[in-house]
Amino acid sequence: MIEDYLIGVKREINELNIYPRELEIDVEYPIAIIGPRRSGKSFYLYYLIKKLNLKEDDYLFVNFEEYEIKNVNFLDIINKHIEIYKKEPKYIFLDEIQNLNNWQDFLYSLVERKKYKIIITGSSSKLLSKEVATNLRGRFISKILLPLSFREYLSFKKVNIIRPLYDKEISKIKGYLYDYLKNGGFPDIILEKVNKKEFIKEYIDILLYKDFIERYKIENIEVARFLLYALIQSNSKILSVNKIYNQLKQITRVSNKTVRKYIYLFPETLSIFLLKKFSYSIKKTYLSQPKIYLSDISLDQEENGIGRKMENIVFLEFIRQNLIDNIYYFHTNEGYEIDFLIKEGNNIKQLIQVSYINNYDEIDKREIRSLLKGYNLFNKPELLIITWDYEDTKIIDNVNIKFIPLYKWLLNI
Protein backbone atom coordinates (compact mmCIF):
# COMPACT_ATOMS: atom_id res chain seq x y z
CA MET A 1 0.00 0.00 0.00
CA ILE A 2 2.79 2.46 0.89
CA GLU A 3 4.66 1.57 -2.30
CA ASP A 4 1.57 2.17 -4.43
CA TYR A 5 1.05 5.53 -2.76
CA LEU A 6 4.66 6.73 -3.16
CA ILE A 7 4.84 5.74 -6.81
CA GLY A 8 1.31 6.94 -7.58
CA VAL A 9 1.74 10.42 -6.13
CA LYS A 10 4.92 11.00 -8.17
CA ARG A 11 3.14 9.86 -11.31
CA GLU A 12 0.37 12.39 -10.61
CA ILE A 13 2.89 15.18 -10.00
CA ASN A 14 4.65 14.40 -13.29
CA GLU A 15 1.37 14.60 -15.20
CA LEU A 16 0.11 17.84 -13.64
CA ASN A 17 0.19 21.22 -15.34
CA ILE A 18 1.89 23.35 -12.70
CA TYR A 19 1.48 27.12 -12.49
CA PRO A 20 4.34 29.09 -10.92
CA ARG A 21 3.83 31.15 -7.77
CA GLU A 22 5.77 34.21 -6.65
CA LEU A 23 6.75 32.97 -3.20
CA GLU A 24 10.53 32.67 -3.04
CA ILE A 25 12.15 30.28 -0.58
CA ASP A 26 15.65 28.97 0.06
CA VAL A 27 15.39 25.18 0.20
CA GLU A 28 18.77 24.97 1.91
CA TYR A 29 16.91 25.71 5.15
CA PRO A 30 13.89 23.90 6.64
CA ILE A 31 10.81 25.78 5.46
CA ALA A 32 7.24 25.87 6.79
CA ILE A 33 4.72 27.19 4.26
CA ILE A 34 1.61 28.35 6.07
CA GLY A 35 -1.55 29.94 4.81
CA PRO A 36 -5.33 29.86 4.66
CA ARG A 37 -6.86 26.69 3.33
CA ARG A 38 -7.23 26.30 -0.45
CA SER A 39 -4.56 28.92 -1.13
CA GLY A 40 -2.46 26.47 -3.16
CA LYS A 41 0.07 25.14 -0.65
CA SER A 42 0.07 21.58 -2.04
CA PHE A 43 0.46 22.76 -5.60
CA TYR A 44 3.30 25.01 -4.49
CA LEU A 45 5.16 21.90 -3.36
CA TYR A 46 4.53 20.34 -6.77
CA TYR A 47 5.84 23.52 -8.36
CA LEU A 48 9.01 23.35 -6.24
CA ILE A 49 9.61 19.74 -7.22
CA LYS A 50 9.41 20.64 -10.90
CA LYS A 51 11.35 23.88 -10.51
CA LEU A 52 14.19 22.01 -8.78
CA ASN A 53 14.03 19.42 -11.58
CA LEU A 54 14.03 16.59 -9.04
CA LYS A 55 14.16 12.99 -10.17
CA GLU A 56 11.76 10.51 -8.62
CA ASP A 57 14.48 9.04 -6.41
CA ASP A 58 15.55 12.51 -5.17
CA TYR A 59 12.48 13.27 -3.09
CA LEU A 60 9.81 11.90 -0.84
CA PHE A 61 6.35 13.50 -0.96
CA VAL A 62 3.73 12.69 1.66
CA ASN A 63 0.32 14.28 2.11
CA PHE A 64 -0.90 13.44 5.60
CA GLU A 65 -4.52 14.02 4.62
CA GLU A 66 -4.40 10.96 2.36
CA TYR A 67 -6.21 7.97 3.79
CA GLU A 68 -3.54 5.46 2.72
CA ILE A 69 -0.81 6.77 4.98
CA LYS A 70 -2.65 8.52 7.82
CA ASN A 71 -1.76 5.87 10.38
CA VAL A 72 1.54 4.69 8.90
CA ASN A 73 4.80 5.14 10.80
CA PHE A 74 6.86 7.70 8.91
CA LEU A 75 10.07 5.70 9.29
CA ASP A 76 8.33 2.91 7.41
CA ILE A 77 7.62 5.38 4.62
CA ILE A 78 11.28 6.42 4.39
CA ASN A 79 12.37 2.79 4.44
CA LYS A 80 9.93 1.99 1.64
CA HIS A 81 11.41 4.83 -0.42
CA ILE A 82 14.89 3.36 0.13
CA GLU A 83 13.60 -0.08 -0.84
CA ILE A 84 12.06 1.24 -4.07
CA TYR A 85 14.84 3.60 -5.18
CA LYS A 86 17.88 2.02 -3.44
CA LYS A 87 18.79 5.37 -1.83
CA GLU A 88 17.59 7.88 0.77
CA PRO A 89 15.72 10.93 -0.48
CA LYS A 90 17.54 14.28 -0.55
CA TYR A 91 14.32 16.28 -0.17
CA ILE A 92 11.33 15.56 2.03
CA PHE A 93 8.04 17.35 1.29
CA LEU A 94 5.43 16.95 4.01
CA ASP A 95 1.99 18.28 3.17
CA GLU A 96 -0.62 19.02 5.88
CA ILE A 97 1.82 17.95 8.58
CA GLN A 98 -0.63 18.76 11.39
CA ASN A 99 -2.51 15.53 10.63
CA LEU A 100 0.45 13.51 11.89
CA ASN A 101 0.30 12.68 15.59
CA ASN A 102 3.02 14.42 17.62
CA TRP A 103 4.18 16.28 14.50
CA GLN A 104 6.30 18.70 16.55
CA ASP A 105 8.49 16.01 18.09
CA PHE A 106 8.69 14.14 14.81
CA LEU A 107 9.84 17.20 12.86
CA TYR A 108 12.36 18.15 15.52
CA SER A 109 13.99 14.72 15.33
CA LEU A 110 13.93 14.81 11.53
CA VAL A 111 15.66 18.20 11.40
CA GLU A 112 18.24 17.14 13.97
CA ARG A 113 19.39 14.33 11.70
CA LYS A 114 20.55 16.96 9.18
CA LYS A 115 20.22 14.44 6.38
CA TYR A 116 17.42 16.01 4.41
CA LYS A 117 16.18 19.27 2.97
CA ILE A 118 12.71 19.61 4.49
CA ILE A 119 9.73 21.65 3.30
CA ILE A 120 6.42 21.33 5.13
CA THR A 121 2.99 22.87 4.72
CA GLY A 122 0.22 23.20 7.24
CA SER A 123 -3.40 24.24 7.14
CA SER A 124 -4.26 27.33 9.08
CA SER A 125 -6.46 25.32 11.43
CA LYS A 126 -3.61 23.62 13.29
CA LEU A 127 -0.21 24.81 12.16
CA LEU A 128 0.60 28.48 12.56
CA SER A 129 3.80 30.45 12.29
CA LYS A 130 4.07 31.05 16.00
CA GLU A 131 3.56 27.33 16.69
CA VAL A 132 6.45 26.47 14.39
CA ALA A 133 8.68 28.98 16.16
CA THR A 134 7.68 27.78 19.62
CA ASN A 135 7.64 24.02 19.13
CA LEU A 136 10.60 23.70 16.79
CA ARG A 137 12.87 26.15 18.59
CA GLY A 138 13.51 28.32 15.55
CA ARG A 139 14.56 25.42 13.31
CA PHE A 140 12.09 26.34 10.56
CA ILE A 141 11.69 29.52 8.53
CA SER A 142 7.98 30.32 8.16
CA LYS A 143 6.53 31.69 4.91
CA ILE A 144 2.93 32.67 4.28
CA LEU A 145 1.19 31.72 1.04
CA LEU A 146 -2.00 33.62 0.24
CA PRO A 147 -4.39 33.04 -2.66
CA LEU A 148 -3.25 34.42 -6.01
CA SER A 149 -2.01 37.97 -6.33
CA PHE A 150 -3.14 39.93 -9.40
CA ARG A 151 0.21 39.24 -11.06
CA GLU A 152 -0.25 35.51 -10.43
CA TYR A 153 -3.85 35.75 -11.60
CA LEU A 154 -2.69 37.16 -14.95
CA SER A 155 -0.09 34.41 -15.19
CA PHE A 156 -2.76 31.75 -14.60
CA LYS A 157 -4.81 33.41 -17.35
CA LYS A 158 -1.72 33.32 -19.60
CA VAL A 159 -1.66 37.11 -19.96
CA ASN A 160 1.80 38.52 -20.67
CA ILE A 161 2.61 42.12 -19.76
CA ILE A 162 4.57 43.64 -22.63
CA ARG A 163 5.80 47.20 -22.28
CA PRO A 164 5.10 49.85 -23.32
CA LEU A 165 1.40 49.40 -22.66
CA TYR A 166 -0.96 50.83 -25.24
CA ASP A 167 -4.64 51.67 -24.80
CA LYS A 168 -5.91 48.25 -25.87
CA GLU A 169 -3.52 46.43 -23.53
CA ILE A 170 -4.44 48.75 -20.65
CA SER A 171 -8.16 48.20 -21.23
CA LYS A 172 -7.59 44.45 -21.30
CA ILE A 173 -5.63 44.53 -18.01
CA LYS A 174 -8.33 46.63 -16.34
CA GLY A 175 -10.93 44.13 -17.51
CA TYR A 176 -8.97 41.32 -15.90
CA LEU A 177 -8.54 43.39 -12.74
CA TYR A 178 -12.29 43.94 -12.52
CA ASP A 179 -12.83 40.16 -12.86
CA TYR A 180 -10.17 39.59 -10.19
CA LEU A 181 -11.97 41.98 -7.83
CA LYS A 182 -15.17 40.05 -8.44
CA ASN A 183 -13.80 36.50 -8.25
CA GLY A 184 -10.80 36.77 -5.92
CA GLY A 185 -7.66 34.68 -6.05
CA PHE A 186 -8.47 31.13 -4.98
CA PRO A 187 -6.78 28.92 -7.61
CA ASP A 188 -9.75 26.52 -7.82
CA ILE A 189 -12.04 29.40 -8.77
CA ILE A 190 -9.59 30.97 -11.22
CA LEU A 191 -9.01 27.66 -13.01
CA GLU A 192 -12.80 27.14 -13.09
CA LYS A 193 -12.57 23.80 -11.34
CA VAL A 194 -15.46 24.64 -9.01
CA ASN A 195 -18.68 26.60 -8.86
CA LYS A 196 -17.72 29.85 -7.14
CA LYS A 197 -20.90 30.24 -5.09
CA GLU A 198 -20.77 26.66 -3.80
CA PHE A 199 -17.01 26.93 -3.17
CA ILE A 200 -17.36 30.05 -1.01
CA LYS A 201 -20.26 28.58 0.98
CA GLU A 202 -18.31 25.39 1.66
CA TYR A 203 -15.15 27.36 2.44
CA ILE A 204 -16.87 29.51 5.06
CA ASP A 205 -18.50 26.44 6.64
CA ILE A 206 -15.16 24.60 6.90
CA LEU A 207 -13.45 27.74 8.17
CA LEU A 208 -16.09 28.08 10.88
CA TYR A 209 -16.30 24.47 12.02
CA LYS A 210 -12.87 22.93 11.38
CA ASP A 211 -10.55 25.92 11.64
CA PHE A 212 -12.31 27.67 14.49
CA ILE A 213 -14.89 25.67 16.46
CA GLU A 214 -12.97 22.36 16.50
CA ARG A 215 -9.55 23.95 16.92
CA TYR A 216 -10.48 26.11 19.88
CA LYS A 217 -13.24 23.88 21.29
CA ILE A 218 -15.76 26.71 20.92
CA GLU A 219 -18.96 26.03 22.82
CA ASN A 220 -21.20 28.85 21.60
CA ILE A 221 -21.56 27.97 17.91
CA GLU A 222 -24.31 30.53 17.30
CA VAL A 223 -22.08 33.35 18.49
CA ALA A 224 -19.12 32.08 16.47
CA ARG A 225 -21.21 31.97 13.28
CA PHE A 226 -22.60 35.47 13.88
CA LEU A 227 -19.12 36.88 14.48
CA LEU A 228 -17.57 35.28 11.41
CA TYR A 229 -20.21 36.76 9.13
CA ALA A 230 -19.93 40.10 10.93
CA LEU A 231 -16.17 40.12 10.32
CA ILE A 232 -16.58 39.24 6.63
CA GLN A 233 -19.18 41.99 6.19
CA SER A 234 -16.83 44.43 7.94
CA ASN A 235 -14.21 44.02 5.23
CA SER A 236 -12.00 47.16 5.04
CA LYS A 237 -13.92 48.80 7.88
CA ILE A 238 -13.03 49.74 11.45
CA LEU A 239 -14.64 47.18 13.73
CA SER A 240 -16.49 48.23 16.86
CA VAL A 241 -16.43 45.28 19.25
CA ASN A 242 -18.95 46.97 21.55
CA LYS A 243 -21.36 47.55 18.68
CA ILE A 244 -21.25 43.89 17.69
CA TYR A 245 -21.66 42.86 21.32
CA ASN A 246 -24.77 45.05 21.65
CA GLN A 247 -26.23 43.47 18.51
CA LEU A 248 -25.49 39.95 19.69
CA LYS A 249 -26.90 40.27 23.19
CA GLN A 250 -30.28 41.13 21.68
CA ILE A 251 -30.53 37.64 20.19
CA THR A 252 -28.55 35.44 22.59
CA ARG A 253 -26.91 35.38 25.98
CA VAL A 254 -23.23 36.23 25.62
CA SER A 255 -20.59 38.21 27.51
CA ASN A 256 -18.52 41.03 26.10
CA LYS A 257 -15.44 39.02 27.10
CA THR A 258 -16.52 36.06 24.96
CA VAL A 259 -17.23 38.27 21.95
CA ARG A 260 -13.84 39.93 22.23
CA LYS A 261 -12.08 36.58 22.72
CA TYR A 262 -13.71 35.05 19.63
CA ILE A 263 -12.98 38.07 17.44
CA TYR A 264 -9.30 38.01 18.32
CA LEU A 265 -9.09 34.24 17.77
CA PHE A 266 -10.38 34.36 14.20
CA PRO A 267 -7.11 35.78 12.78
CA GLU A 268 -5.38 32.58 13.94
CA THR A 269 -7.06 30.91 10.95
CA LEU A 270 -5.19 33.31 8.62
CA SER A 271 -8.49 33.93 6.82
CA ILE A 272 -9.18 37.12 8.77
CA PHE A 273 -6.63 39.89 9.41
CA LEU A 274 -6.83 42.67 11.99
CA LEU A 275 -4.99 45.93 11.27
CA LYS A 276 -4.15 48.16 14.24
CA LYS A 277 -4.43 51.94 14.39
CA PHE A 278 -1.16 53.82 14.51
CA SER A 279 -0.18 55.68 17.65
CA TYR A 280 3.17 56.62 19.09
CA SER A 281 1.80 54.99 22.24
CA ILE A 282 2.21 51.20 22.03
CA LYS A 283 -0.57 50.78 24.57
CA LYS A 284 -3.02 52.88 22.51
CA THR A 285 -2.13 50.94 19.37
CA TYR A 286 -2.71 47.64 21.14
CA LEU A 287 -6.08 48.77 22.54
CA SER A 288 -7.31 50.36 19.31
CA GLN A 289 -10.32 49.09 17.41
CA PRO A 290 -9.00 47.01 14.49
CA LYS A 291 -9.69 47.34 10.82
CA ILE A 292 -10.80 44.08 9.16
CA TYR A 293 -9.35 42.51 6.02
CA LEU A 294 -9.95 39.12 4.42
CA SER A 295 -7.42 36.61 3.09
CA ASP A 296 -9.29 36.69 -0.21
CA ILE A 297 -11.80 39.19 -1.52
CA SER A 298 -14.08 36.46 -2.88
CA LEU A 299 -15.26 35.93 0.71
CA ASP A 300 -16.89 39.37 0.49
CA GLN A 301 -20.04 38.77 -1.55
CA GLU A 302 -21.07 42.43 -1.61
CA GLU A 303 -21.69 43.27 -5.28
CA ASN A 304 -21.19 47.04 -4.89
CA GLY A 305 -18.14 46.94 -2.66
CA ILE A 306 -15.48 47.63 -5.33
CA GLY A 307 -13.77 50.35 -3.27
CA ARG A 308 -13.53 48.09 -0.23
CA LYS A 309 -12.20 45.21 -2.31
CA MET A 310 -9.57 47.49 -3.86
CA GLU A 311 -8.42 48.41 -0.37
CA ASN A 312 -8.39 44.76 0.69
CA ILE A 313 -6.13 43.64 -2.17
CA VAL A 314 -3.76 46.53 -1.44
CA PHE A 315 -3.54 45.26 2.14
CA LEU A 316 -2.85 41.69 0.95
CA GLU A 317 -0.08 42.99 -1.28
CA PHE A 318 1.58 44.47 1.82
CA ILE A 319 1.36 41.03 3.45
CA ARG A 320 3.09 39.50 0.43
CA GLN A 321 5.79 42.17 0.74
CA ASN A 322 6.37 41.16 4.40
CA LEU A 323 5.23 44.56 5.67
CA ILE A 324 2.69 43.25 8.18
CA ASP A 325 4.68 44.56 11.15
CA ASN A 326 5.11 48.00 9.55
CA ILE A 327 1.61 48.83 8.42
CA TYR A 328 -1.25 50.54 10.28
CA TYR A 329 -4.30 52.64 9.61
CA PHE A 330 -4.68 56.15 11.04
CA HIS A 331 -7.79 57.74 12.47
CA THR A 332 -8.49 60.72 14.72
CA ASN A 333 -11.53 61.89 16.67
CA GLU A 334 -11.62 64.95 14.37
CA GLY A 335 -12.47 62.74 11.41
CA TYR A 336 -9.07 62.41 9.77
CA GLU A 337 -8.70 58.90 8.38
CA ILE A 338 -5.89 57.35 6.35
CA ASP A 339 -6.23 53.84 4.94
CA PHE A 340 -2.57 52.81 5.30
CA LEU A 341 0.39 54.23 7.16
CA ILE A 342 3.76 52.61 6.33
CA LYS A 343 6.36 52.79 9.08
CA GLU A 344 10.07 52.24 8.47
CA GLY A 345 12.13 52.08 11.64
CA ASN A 346 11.04 55.07 13.70
CA ASN A 347 9.92 57.06 10.67
CA ILE A 348 6.60 57.26 8.86
CA LYS A 349 7.57 56.56 5.26
CA GLN A 350 4.29 56.71 3.34
CA LEU A 351 0.58 57.54 3.74
CA ILE A 352 -1.82 55.83 1.32
CA GLN A 353 -5.48 56.22 0.46
CA VAL A 354 -7.36 53.81 -1.81
CA SER A 355 -10.19 55.37 -3.79
CA TYR A 356 -12.47 54.02 -6.52
CA ILE A 357 -12.23 57.04 -8.84
CA ASN A 358 -11.63 57.66 -12.55
CA ASN A 359 -10.78 61.37 -12.43
CA TYR A 360 -9.77 64.02 -9.93
CA ASP A 361 -13.25 65.53 -9.62
CA GLU A 362 -14.53 62.26 -8.12
CA ILE A 363 -12.10 62.29 -5.19
CA ASP A 364 -13.57 62.71 -1.73
CA LYS A 365 -11.85 65.86 -0.52
CA ARG A 366 -11.76 64.42 3.00
CA GLU A 367 -9.20 61.90 1.77
CA ILE A 368 -6.89 64.68 0.61
CA ARG A 369 -7.52 66.64 3.80
CA SER A 370 -6.50 63.61 5.87
CA LEU A 371 -3.32 63.08 3.84
CA LEU A 372 -2.31 66.72 4.29
CA LYS A 373 -2.98 66.44 8.03
CA GLY A 374 -0.80 63.34 8.20
CA TYR A 375 1.90 65.06 6.14
CA ASN A 376 2.26 67.73 8.82
CA LEU A 377 1.90 65.32 11.75
CA PHE A 378 4.47 62.78 10.56
CA ASN A 379 7.36 64.83 9.23
CA LYS A 380 6.49 64.97 5.54
CA PRO A 381 6.05 61.35 4.38
CA GLU A 382 5.27 60.44 0.77
CA LEU A 383 1.57 60.82 -0.06
CA LEU A 384 -0.14 58.39 -2.43
CA ILE A 385 -3.71 57.81 -3.60
CA ILE A 386 -4.35 54.49 -5.38
CA THR A 387 -7.22 54.96 -7.84
CA TRP A 388 -9.12 52.89 -10.34
CA ASP A 389 -8.11 54.82 -13.45
CA TYR A 390 -6.64 58.22 -12.61
CA GLU A 391 -2.94 59.03 -12.77
CA ASP A 392 -1.29 62.34 -11.97
CA THR A 393 0.84 64.22 -9.48
CA LYS A 394 -0.80 67.28 -7.98
CA ILE A 395 0.61 69.99 -5.77
CA ILE A 396 -1.96 70.86 -3.11
CA ASP A 397 -1.07 73.38 -0.41
CA ASN A 398 2.56 73.12 -1.59
CA VAL A 399 2.54 69.34 -1.01
CA ASN A 400 2.98 66.66 -3.72
CA ILE A 401 0.26 64.01 -3.86
CA LYS A 402 0.76 61.17 -6.33
CA PHE A 403 -2.21 59.40 -7.92
CA ILE A 404 -1.66 55.96 -9.47
CA PRO A 405 -4.11 53.42 -10.94
CA LEU A 406 -4.45 50.19 -9.00
CA TYR A 407 -3.33 47.98 -11.90
CA LYS A 408 -0.07 49.94 -12.21
CA TRP A 409 0.57 49.78 -8.48
CA LEU A 410 -0.09 46.04 -8.32
CA LEU A 411 2.03 45.28 -11.39
CA ASN A 412 4.74 47.81 -10.51
CA ILE A 413 4.62 49.45 -13.93
Task: Return the H-helix or E-strand segment holding 392.
Answer: strand 392-396
- Would you place residue 127 in the very low, low, confident or very high pLDDT band (cuts 50, 70, 90)? low
Q: What is the CATH number of the domain that holds 135?
A: 3.40.50.300
- Would you place residue 122 in the very low, low, confident or very high pLDDT band (cuts 50, 70, 90)? confident
Give the Å distances, CA to CA, from 171 to 199, 227, 376. Answer: 29, 39, 37
Task: Return the H-helix or E-strand segment holding 141.
Answer: strand 141-144
Of 93, 121, 145, at which residue does a domain stop? 145
pLDDT at 132: 63
| Averaged pLDDT for residues 87-91 | 96
| Averaged pLDDT for residues 404-408 | 98
- Would you place residue 67 in the very low, low, confident or very high pLDDT band (cuts 50, 70, 90)? confident
The whole-model pTM stands at: 0.92
Domain-embedded: residue 202:
no
Of 127, 145, 163, at which residue does a domain stop? 145
Domain-embedded: residue 181:
no
Given a cut of 70, whether residue 360 has pLDDT beyond it is yes
How far apart (Å, rounded) are the C-alpha atoms in residues 322 and 325? 8
Q: What is the CATH number of the domain that holds 389?
A: 3.40.1350
CB-based contact 39:299 (threshold 8 Å): no
Given a cut of 60, whether residue 38 has pLDDT beyond it is yes
- Would you place residue 124 in the very low, low, confident or very high pLDDT band (cuts 50, 70, 90)? low
Question: Which range marks the domain in which residue 115 is found?
Answer: 2-145
- Which residues touch 384 (CB under 8 Å, ≥6 apart)? 350, 351, 352, 353, 401, 402, 403, 404
Q: How many structural domains compose the chain?
A: 2
Which strands, in side-by-side order, build the sheet including 327-331?
Answer: 327-331, 337-344, 347-354, 382-387, 399-405, 392-396
pLDDT at 165: 85
CB-based contact 371:383 (threshold 8 Å): yes
**Sign of the Cα pseudo-torsion (210, 213, 214, 216, in order):** positive
pLDDT at 123: 74
Domain-embedded: residue 194:
no
How far apart (Å, rounded) are the C-alpha atoms in residues 145 and 49? 17
- Would you place residue 75 in the very low, low, confident or very high pLDDT band (cuts 50, 70, 90)? confident
Domain-embedded: residue 31:
yes
Domain-embedded: residue 220:
no
Domain-embedded: residue 216:
no
Domain-embedded: residue 244:
no
Of 145, 166, 201, at which residue does a domain stop? 145
Between 69 and 145, whose confidence is greater?
Answer: 145
Given a cut of 90, whether residue 88 has pLDDT beyond it is yes
Domain-embedded: residue 413:
yes
